Every structure is written in C-alpha cells, then in structure tokens.
Amino acid sequence: MRILYSGIIPDGRNGKNIMQEKYHIITYGCQMNVHESEKIAGILRGLGYEETSEKEDADIIVFNTCCIRENAENHAFGNIGALKKLKKQKPNLLIAVGGCMTQEKGKTDVLKKKFPFIDIMFGTLNLEELGNLILRKKAQKKKVIEIREKEGEIVEFTDAYRTSYPNAWVNIMYGCNNFCSYCIVPYVRGRERSRKPENIIEEVRGLIAEGYKEITLLGQNVNSYGSDGTTGMTFAQLLDAVASIEGDFRLRFMTSHPKDFNEDVVLVMKKHRKICRLVHLPVQSGSNAVLKAMNRRYTREKYLDEIKMLKKHLPEAEVTTDIIVGFPGETEEDYLQTEALVKEVDFASAFTFVYSKRQGTKAADMEGHIPEEIQKDRIMRLVELVNSLTRKKSEKYLGKTVEILCEDYDAKKGLYMGRDEFGRMGYFASATDVIGQLVQIKITKANGISLFGEIV
Ligand code: 5AD
Ligand code: SF4
C-alpha cells in the first residue's frame, strides 16, 4: 500500500474534526468522474474536512472537470469564473481544479491565465496526491500545480467516501487504448491498465458486507480487461468471479466496446441471475463509412450480429447506447442509416450527442466539418426518435409487476424512487423507508421515461 499523505494528519476519521473546515466538490462528466469525486471526498475527509452543500460555507472547493465535449468545459469555465467574488471575500478559501480538463495539453496555462485565483491544480493521473498537494498549499503562498504526463502504476484506493448507497461503483481498469478519432479520453486518461482481480474482488466483498446492493464495474472498455496480460483473467472470467461472490446484489458493468464484446461475456451473464440483463454498447453511428472514419473498428453488421447473439442467449436483454451525430463528413444518408439502426435495435435508451471538435484528436483535422444548423437538425430528429421508442417501451410496462431497487426518497414528489434491472426509473409510495431494498412494484402509469406504481 502506498502512503497517500505525508505530514501531520488531522484526525477526521473518528469524529474529531480538528480543522473544523468544510469541503464542497463540483463534478462534471461521466460515472468515472462521479466515482473519482467519491475518492476525492475520501481524501478530504482523511484530512479532517467535512462536507458542505453550500459553496459559500466551504473552506475548499474542488472542481472535478470533464473535457469530453466543449460544453462540459464551458460549464466548468463558467463556474470557476463565478468564484472570483467569493475568493475575494474569503481569501483563505482554497480552490482546487482537477480531472480531465487539467490533464489536457496546455490547459493548465489557460486556466492559470484566466483564473489566477486557483490555488491547486491536479490531474486524473495523480488524483491520489491531492491530500499532499493541499498540505503543501497550506504551507506556502505559491499555487501548487502538479500534473503527471504519463500514467504510473495503479494506486489501490481504499478510502472512497461513497455517496450513492445502495449503488457502488468499482473501477476495474483505467485509461483507454482505442483512440476513436473524435475522442480525447486516451489523451487525458493515459493507456489502459487493469486492476488485479484479487483487489477488485476484495473491494466488492467489502461493499457487499457493508450492505451495498448494486455493484457497477467501471472501465472505458471493460471487454479488454486484462488484455495487457497483467491480470491472468479475461473480462468474462472476472465477471464470473465477481458474480460468484456470495450475497444478494445486482451486478452491472460498463462500458462495453462493440469491437471486443463477445459471447463469453453473454454466457457468464446467462449463468448468473445477479447480472442485470442490460448492456451499454455504444454504437456511435449506423453508417459503416462514419464508423471507419471514427476508427471504431467494427461495422454496422458486426454490431447487429452482436445484438442478435445477445438476444439468442438472453431474449429479455436490453441494450443502451451512445450516438454521435454530425461527425465530419457525415451525409444525410449516413445519418439516416443511424436512424434505421436505432429502430432496428430498439434501444432501451440512448445518449445522443452532437459531435464536438476536440483539439489534438484525429477528427479535429478532418475535412467536412458539418455546419451547426445541420448538426442541430439531426440531433433534434434523433432525440425525437429515441424518445418515441422509449415512450413505447414504457407503455409496455403498464399493468406489469417489476422489481425495483429503491435508491432514494424524492421529497418533491413525496415518493420513493429506484430502478429496475434495465435501468428504468420507477416511483412509488411507501409507508416505511425501503431505501436499499428490492421491492415489487405494479406499474400503473408510464410518463415518458419514468414509471409510477404501487408496492405489491
Ligand atoms: N463529441 C461528441 N461526443 C463525444 N463522445 C466522446 N467524444 C465525443 C466528442 N468529441 C461521446 C461518445 C462516447 C460518450 C461517452 O461521449 O458517444 O461514447
Ligand atoms: Fe473514447 Fe473510444 Fe476510448 Fe470510449 S473507447 S473512451 S469513445 S477513445
């Protein structure tokens, strides 16, 4: 185990908050980032900080940024900029910026210039050092900027402060080797590296013992787990081992890449009822020409064959996806092929994005960038199509009884909420607190993507 902090550590773990200071974390982006914010929270609590939901009450504000699309960056820029006044009023307030944006080439210089009041910058590749960086900043006037250029060996992290009970996220690997031509992730998260199976299994065992009811295995491309030869296990074998852990829990995994998704994984899903019958399989486009330009390394036909294979073994299985419209060179014909594929697969849901040019990626230098009006027109049509399919699926739930893992109480609605194994959100009334329990709900109303029902 590596030691994460040096210097004197205030004892925040046994209730004595020596520092009496508070933290506030602002997270952008994907599930990976949400989980990394739980790790950041773990570091801050280890230093003795307590959480506050109000920025104004915080002694340290940490931005965990995302750079996958331009609008994610713009949000972060806007919110960091908005802190200028607060920092003036509270000069001792520490502002730390980390995540994918600081890891982008040249971005720390931009941030330094635009927001000279930032105290600490760290990257995705040295997140575990944040505790030390804070202690360093407290001991000096100068700002602390520490970005690692290349990924190091995996630091096993035991102190994430989880906020999503009964769900728990577990990294199985970090980084990405795929270099899809539009994507900045491989540049800001480094090359693929897999955690050791024994560490993953130990973490999941611990979570189950603590009462977590849903475990999601996380990686940019989980199907290539262990392909660097360092784990002695494929993803299918790891999934089998995790699903074999005793206890009552649901198991999910994401993200699968269609170039690597395979029958072995589906057979493991079939073997264990604990594994949710839902696969997140981003297709990105229905056109072979666009898929090639995106460097996705599969065809529309291969993708459809994988769906067929999945449904052959698990007819009840559902698929969700990610789609990008307006990629450079995408013609109306290409776009219509995406629409046709969406109808053919009948996705449970789809995350739809307008292509966003990312400096340093291959696609940024391609010819044929699509005018914004055309991009907007395509995304509107696609969203309409996806919504209509989702609505139709929701209606099929009417009158049926589904098993929902209760996650939270929605005070506004006065109802408990949770998800079925396909990720569909369901609301219901209950006289007792059922958070963390699996409940049977008879669906009485379907409202777009949300379901409403009664406990049976
Ligand atoms: N522009 C738009 N969407 C993108 N994604 C990744 N990079 C870009 C980009 N440059 C989408 C992909 C991916 C999801 C996480 O984000 O669909 O699957
Ligand atoms: Fe980006 Fe492709 Fe890697 Fe996913 S697989 S993170 S889209 S490069």
Query: Using CA atoms, how far apart are residues 350 and 291, in angstroms rounded to an integer?
Result: 17
For the residues 304-313, what does the mean pLDDT come to?
98
Query: Using CA atoms, how far apart are residues 143 and 136, in angstroms rounded to an integer?
Result: 9
Give residue 153's pLDDT. Answer: 87
Pocket of ligand 1 (CB under 6 A): 68-69, 182-183, 282, 284, 322, 324, 353, 355-356, 358
Q: How confident is the model at residue 98 (pLDDT cuts 50, 70, 90)?
A: very high
Residue of minimum CA distance from atom 5 in ligand 2: 178
In the predicted structure, residue 140 carries a pLDDT above the cut 90: yes
Domain extents for the chain? 9-146, 167-395, 401-455
Residues 365, 370, 376: CA angle, nearest 5 degrees: 135
Give residue 368's pLDDT. Answer: 97
* 324 Cα: distance to centroid of ligand 1 (angstroms): 7
Query: Using CA atoms, how far apart are residues 65 and 308, in angstroms rounded to an integer?
Result: 38
Structure tokens at 270: 């079939």
What percent of the chain has a predicted confidence (pLDDT) above 90?
93
Ligand whose nearest atom lies closest to the CA of 186: 2
18-32, 329-343, 424-438: lowest mean pLDDT where? 18-32
Give residue 55's pLDDT. Answer: 96
* 182 Cα: distance to centroid of ligand 1 (angstroms): 7
Q: Which mutation among 66, 182, 294 tests ligand 1's pocket best, with the greatest number of atoms within 8 A of CB?
A: 182
Q: Which mutation among 100, 180, 356, 362 tests ligand 2's pocket best, with the greatest number of atoms within 8 A of CB?
A: 180
Ligand whose nearest atom lies closest to the CA of 68: 1
Give residue 336's pLDDT. Answer: 98
| Fold match, 9-146 / 167-395 | no
Q: Which mutation among 178, 191, 283 tests ligand 2's pocket best, with the greatest number of atoms within 8 A of CB?
A: 178
What percent of the chain has a predicted confidence (pLDDT) above 70?
96
* Terminal CA-CA length for the chain: 48
In the predicted structure, residue 6 carries a pLDDT above the cut 60: no
Q: How confident is the model at residue 449 (pLDDT cuts 50, 70, 90)?
A: confident
In the predicted structure, residue 7 carries a pLDDT above the cut 90: no
What are the pLDDT digits (tens) for 213-230?
A: 999 999 999 999 999 899
Tokens 């994610």, residue located: 72
Give residue 447's pLDDT. Answer: 87
> Across all residues in the chain, what is the average pLDDT?
94
- Closest ligand 2 atom to residue 284 Cα is 7
The model carries a pTM of 0.93
- Closest ligand 1 atom to residue 182 Cα is 10
**Tell me, what amino acid is at 236?**
A
In the predicted structure, residue 13 carries a pLDDT above the cut 80: no
- Closest ligand 2 atom to residue 68 Cα is 1
Ligand whose nearest atom lies closest to the CA of 364: 1
Say yes or no: domain 401-455 is CATH 3.40.50.300.
no
Give residue 157's pLDDT. Answer: 76
For the residues 359-364, what does the mean pLDDT come to?
97
- CB-based contacts of 260: which residues, under 8 Å, 6+ apart? 221, 223, 224
- CB-based contacts of 255: which residues, under 8 Å, 6+ apart? 219, 220, 221, 222, 280, 282
In the predicted structure, residue 4 carries a pLDDT above the cut 50: no
**Tell me, what amino acid is at 195?**
R
Strand order in the sheet with 167-171: 167-171, 214-218, 250-254
The fold adopted by the segment(s) 167-395 is pyruvate-formate lyase- activating enzyme (3.80.30)
For the residues 118-134, what does the mean pLDDT come to?
96
- Among candidate residues 384, 355, 358, the one with its CA nearest the CA of residue 372: 355
What are the pLDDT digits (tens) for 238-290?
A: 999 999 999 999 999 999 999 999 999 999 999 999 999 999 999 999 999 99
Q: Which mutation among 256, 323, 324 tests ligand 1's pocket best, with the greatest number of atoms within 8 A of CB?
A: 324
Give residue 18's pLDDT. Answer: 53
In the predicted structure, residue 8 carries a pLDDT above the cut 60: no
Q: Is 176 in the pocket of ligand 2 (CB under 6 A)?
A: yes
CATH of domain 9-146: 3.40.50.12160
What are the pLDDT digits (tens) for 377-387?
A: 999 999 999 99
